[in-house]
Amino acid sequence: MNNKLLKIVNPLLFVAFLTNQVAMLLYKVPGPLQYSEQMTNLHTWAGLGFLVLAIVHITLNWRWIKSQIFKNKKS
C-alpha cells in the first residue's frame, strides 16, 4: 500500500517543489510578473502543498528512515 501511495506522492512532491521555485524566480526576475500578487499566491500555495506532501512522504517512509538512523551496530 505504501509503495502505491509513494508513486503518487513523490511526483506531486516534485511538482510542488518545482512550482514553488519557479514562482519565486518569476517573482524576483524583472518582467510582467515581478512582485505580482499572483506569484506571491502561487508561491504560498505551492509551499503549503510541498509541506503537506513532505510530511506525508516522511510518514510513509518512516520505517525505512528509522532503519537507517538506528541501524544495529555490530562490534
pTM confidence score = 0.87
Q: Residue 2, Cβ neighbours under 10 Å: how many?
A: 13
For 53-67, what is each residue's pLDDT tens digit?
999 999 999 999 999
Nearest C-alpha neighbor of 55 from the set 19, 16, 23, 20 = 16
pLDDT at residue 2 greater than cutoff 70: yes
Residue 21, domain member (yes or no)? yes
pLDDT the model gives residue 73? 64
Structure letter (DSSP) for residue 31: S
Instruction: Record the cell numbers describing residue 70, joined without a space.
Output: 538506528
Terminal alpha carbon distance of the chain: 36
Residue 75, domain member (yes or no)? no
Domain that holds residue 10: 2-67
Instruction: Record the cell numbers describing residue 5, joined without a space.
Output: 501511495
Tally of structural domains, the chain: 1
Residue 74, domain member (yes or no)? no
